[in-house]
Structure 1
Amino acid sequence: MTSRLNYAQQSPELFKKLLDLSMALKDSAIEQTIHDLIHIRASQINGCGFCLDMHVKEAKIHGESELRLHHVAIWRESTLFVPRERAALAWTEALTTLTEGGIPDELYERVRGQLSEKEVSDLTFSIMVINAWNRVNVAFKTVPGSADKAYGLDKAGLN
């Protein structure tokens, strides 16, 4: 696969703003494990090879088990995720695949049963950001693994 263009070079100011928002989310009310899981799930749904590759490697570096990484795609059937993670994954899927009817109240109430209002808000911003990254990387065919050295992802040992 060949990348179409380097959006960071073409639109450096906009790239930096999105990157700044991504970095701000590292200090959010949502723990790193959930960030990793939702980034992986949204990237799977959106078919973003670059982001999926990146976030699987990041999760591995953060200590995530390989089996749980394999189970993200089947999280509903898996017994490896706690209710809080399940709520975050359900919210991720709903926001990533918005339907004509919007987000059902039942889902919101289920998510609120596991996360505070602040956490739901921060989680929603994190989902928004990964969807933005997915869209730009899909649009410009960013090659999976092409930034491993720059982002330290070669340390994941998954090459």
Structure 2
Amino acid sequence: ACLATHVPAARKAGVSQERLDLLPAWRDIDEFGDPERAALRLAETLTRLDSVDERGAATAAAAEHFDEDQLSALEWSIVLINAFNRVSIASDHRVRIED
């Protein structure tokens, strides 16, 4: 679902292909700012369902950059996207490649 929907939406919103290509290496490069890194860390830990300690640390790190409402919206967005992905996987959804 993410590949089919969000990558094209990111491009349309002006995110460069280079930045999208660098996303998997977000921990190792300086391309992403501290708020982005905190959001990505939180997304990873909520997706993988890391230990309570790591989730707590990721949430605390994100709270340094986002107010309570923003953090709540971020967490709900992560949970929602994960739900969409799991439904997509369960239904054997195939990514459509547009020309």
Alignment of 1:7-26 (within 5 A): none
Instruction: Verify: 1:82 aligned to 2:33, yes or no.
Output: yes
CA distance in 1, matches of 2:11, 2:39: 19
State which structure, 1 or 2, has the greater radius of gyration over its C-alpha atoms.
1
Q: Which of these residues, 63, 70, 73, is aligned with residue 14 of structure 2?
A: 63
Residue in 1 aligned with 2:61?
Answer: 110
Alignment of 1:6-155 (within 5 A): 50-99=1-50, 101-104=51-54, 105-145=56-96
Distance 1:125 1:119, change over 3 A: same
Deviations 1:10-45 (A, max 9, x none): xxxxxxxxxxxxxxxxxxxxxxxxxxxxxxxxxxxx
TM-score of the pair, normalised by structure 2: 0.88
CA distance in 2, matches of 1:111, 1:103: 14
Alpha-carbon shift at residue 98 of structure 1 (Å)? 0.5
CA distance in 2, matches of 1:62, 1:145: 20
Structure 1: give runs of 5+ residues left out of the alignment.
1-49, 147-153
CA distance in 1, matches of 2:31, 2:91: 34
Alpha-carbon shift at residue 145 of structure 1 (Å)? 1.8
- Give 3-state SS (helix, strand or coil) of 2:86's partner: helix
CA distance in 2, matches of 1:78, 1:53: 26
Deviations 1:84-126 (A, max 9, x none): 1111000000100003x32533322211111111111000100
Alpha-carbon shift at residue 79 of structure 1 (Å)? 1.6
Let me know the Cα RMSD of the aligned residues: 1.6
